Structure 1
Amino acid sequence: MRLFSLKSCDTCRKALAALRAAGHTPDVIDVRADGLSEQDRADLIARFGDALINRSSTTWRQLTDAEKAQDTSDLLTTFPTLMKRPVIQNGDLWTLGWKSDVQDQHLT
């Protein structure tokens, strides 16, 4: 199991704590500190596409129109904190966010 997150993200911390309490030991990838490998970025985009970009984030609101027009891969390369999080990979199961439906998939 892998958890793509930000160390400073409250939701990511809650997800990590819940996963650990459920007996999981996820490998944590901090997208700011560790970055995303080209393969991980390609896999994430293939699975989630444009939904991977958090357009309600402070980072997004601070971008210029030219920056916002970049494709998803370029945006995540330059601004990794634009990624919606957490993303959890558990084998072939990939989930985005930490709503109850996602929690049900990983905690039950």
Structure 2
Amino acid sequence: MKIYGIKTCDTCRKARKALPDAEFVDIREDALPGAVLTAALERFGDRVLNTRSTTWRDLPESERKKEPVWLIGAYPTLMKRPLIEAGDEMYLGFDAQTRAALGV
């Protein structure tokens, strides 16, 4: 299992604590692998973008119109976090439904 997120993100910290055996990948330090981002976009669509973030609000309108794959590559903090890869399954965020699916 892998958790993709940012080490200073509170939700990512909760996920790491609840899933101590999972490998954590900080997407600020190590970019999100292209194949993982593509799979996440296919599965979740534009929900991968955190449009409530400060980063999003600070972006000029011209930047906001760009493709999510480009935006997340240029601004990793725009990704809704955490993105959890568990075998063939993927989970976005760490809400009650995700925790139940992962058994935590």
Scaled by the length of structure 2, the TM-score of the pair is 0.95
Unaligned runs of 5+ in 2: none
d(CA) in 1 for partners of 2:54, 2:61: 14
SS at match of 1:54: coil
Query: Counterpart in 2 of 1:16?
Result: 16
Q: Which consecutive segments of 4 or more residues in structure 1 shift more than 3 A?
A: none
**SS of match in other structure, 1:29:** strand
- Pairing of 1:17-32 with structure 2 (within 5 A): 17-20=17-20, 25-32=21-28
The share of aligned pairs that are identical, in percent, is 38
For the pair 1:53 / 2:60, whether they are aligned, the reply is no
Contact 1:19 1:107 in 2 (8 A): no
C-alpha RMSD of the superposition: 1.0
The residue number in structure 1 matching 2:65 is: 69
AA at the equivalent of 2:66: Q
Between Structure 1 and Structure 2, how many residues are aligned? 104
Normalised to the residue count of structure 1, the TM-score between the two structures is 0.91
